[in-house]
Amino acid sequence: MRIEYSYGKRKIEAEILYSNRKTIDLRVFPEGNVLITAPEGTELSTIIERVKPKSKWLMTQLRTFELYRPFTRERLYVPGETHRYLGRQYKLVINRKDKGNTVINLSKGLFTINTASDNIEAIIQKFYKSKAEEVFDELLQKLLGQYPQFKVYEITLSHRFMKKRWGSCSMDGKILLNTELVKASKSCIEYVMLHELCHLIEQNHSKQFYALISDLLPNWQKVKEKLERDLA
């Protein structure tokens, strides 16, 4: 069941899930969806009455997630197009050959692909996946050495291409990063990793969360802006 109500000039949409519980719970997810969990049989008017006072907090959460989403533009994978790797831009050069393995070289501002394949997108995606595995693990170990308070958690790191966010972290220590991050500078990747690590201590984007990340990385807002600007 879905509801909709107004908060100022903004309309808020939420899904209601009834369950065997005693209180009404409100959650906002990174994708922008809002979930209200309520006890079985709760009147709709009662749910709205309980949720409305939390609308300011809800809007803050939605705006935070909107700012945190990646905005990487669509690529055509044609010669002359620019592609990033670790914060630097490279112009794509495609050299066709009749047979043999694909060879990639990044040098002097050129992203050169020597290949017999026509699927340039798959080649580049495979390249990013392999590099992400190496770079992300290296930076995670660096951060754990720099911030030993996170070593008490059993952390597992994985990555995949995602359209709506840079990363996520579950309370059992599973950190998932967007493979696209390998295009950003190492400082930007470290910011996203640290953001997710902080969620092991503070689950929500609360004042305590921002106090924690500000203590560990005082310039995090500038790094975040750089990430969004560079990968826009």
Q: Where are the domains of the chain?
A: 2-68, 119-230
Per-residue pLDDT of 170-216, as tens digits, reads 888 999 999 999 999 999 999 999 999 999 998 888 889 899 999 99
- pLDDT at position 68 is 60
- pLDDT at position 175 is 94
| CA 178/CA 169 separation, integer angstroms | 12
Instruction: Report yes or no: 179 and 159 within 8 Å, Cβ to Cβ.
Output: yes
Per-residue pLDDT of 96-110, as tens digits, reads 998 899 999 999 999
27, β-bridge pairs: 35
List of residues 6+ apart from 201 with CB closer than 8 A: 149, 212
Per-residue pLDDT of 135-167, as tens digits, reads 999 999 999 999 999 999 999 999 999 887 899
Q: List C-alpha distances in Å: 9 to 12, 28, 30, 45, 59.
A: 10, 19, 22, 21, 12
Give me the helices (H) in the chain, please: 44-51, 55-68, 120-146, 186-198, 207-216, 220-230
| CA 97/CA 112 separation, integer angstroms | 13
Per-residue pLDDT of 19-56, as tens digits, reads 888 888 888 876 577 888 889 889 888 988 888 888 88
What does R_g of the chain's alpha carbons equal in angstroms?
Answer: 22
**Collapsed DSSP state (helix, strand, coil) of residue 74:** coil
Per-residue pLDDT of 58-76, as tens digits, reads 888 777 766 565 655 678 8
How is domain 119-230 classified at the architecture level of CATH?
2-Layer Sandwich (3.30)
Model's pTM, two decimal places?
0.71
Secondary-structure percent of the chain, ordered helix, strand, coil, rounded to 5: 40, 25, 30
List of residues 6+ apart from 150 with CB closer than 8 A: 143, 144, 197, 200
